[in-house]
Amino acid sequence: MQLFLDSAKPNEIREAANLGVISGVTTNPSLVAKEKVDYKERIMEICQIVSGPVSVEVLSQEAEGMVTEAKEFATWASNVIVKVPMIKEGLRALKSLRQLKIRTNVTLVFSLNQALLAAIAGADYVSPFVGRLDDVGHDGMQLVAEIVNAYKAYNMGTQVIAASIRHPLHVVQAVHAGAHIATIPFGVLEGMLHHPLTDLGVQRFLDDWHRAIGQQERKNDV
């Protein structure tokens, strides 16, 4: 199980990378647009922070345009992964990108049928959106489990990225579902770090230590 950070903020990515727990980064045009920076410059900066896969999403809705963008993205850094939407034109683009040996992540996957098509077309990764499925009354993590089981049954090499993760419990569920990767916002990563019993235990250790030091100092004063 690997963790990717879903972010376009260099400060968040650096902090997460310094913890030694993230293996890659996923971005999208919305995340970069919120930063109000040049798309290429920000992606190249992120690729210098992490050595693992960095997913960069195409903007075109036509296969030819997707391939053109993907070829450009691939020149930015060796660890760029091209995100392609799960639409008919996206599948067409996958065929060409596989021939060009450009690695891909098929995004906005919401069904097992879509995941199967993406894998057969040659996607390196697929990203089922768990949180968005939950929002409309479906079990997003059940879909992740179905995709994982199908890929395993047919020896498909495509890896499953549990995406649209909303809270730490989603990460636990992704583990149980067998996802290869969970891509998480920085806030979720911070949430994974904390437990009230850990905080209480640390405080008790500190209190005990200070109490022992205080007793020793009083003995020395006598």
Please report, for the chain, how many H helices and E strands are present, in that order.
11, 8
Low-confidence residues in the chain, pLDDT < 50 = none
Query: What are the chain's domains?
Result: 2-194 (3.20.20.70)
- Which helix (H) or strand (E) element contains residue 161? strand 159-162
CA angle, 101 then 28 then 131, to 5°: 110
The CA–CA distances, whole Å, from 207 to 22, 193, 218 equal: 33, 22, 16
Catalytic position from the list 36, 83, 95, 101? 83
Burial of 49 (0-12, 13-18, 19+ CB in 10 A): middle
Q: What's the sign of the alpha-carbon dihedral 187, 106, 159, 97?
A: negative
Angle separating helix axes 112-121 and 140-153, nearest 10 degrees: 40
Quote the pLDDT of residue 164: 97
Q: Is 83 a catalytic residue?
A: yes
Residues 131 and 128: their CA atoms lie apart, in Å, by 9
Report which residue type is found at 143. Answer: L
Please indicate, yes or no, whether the overall pTM of this predicted structure exceeds 0.85: yes
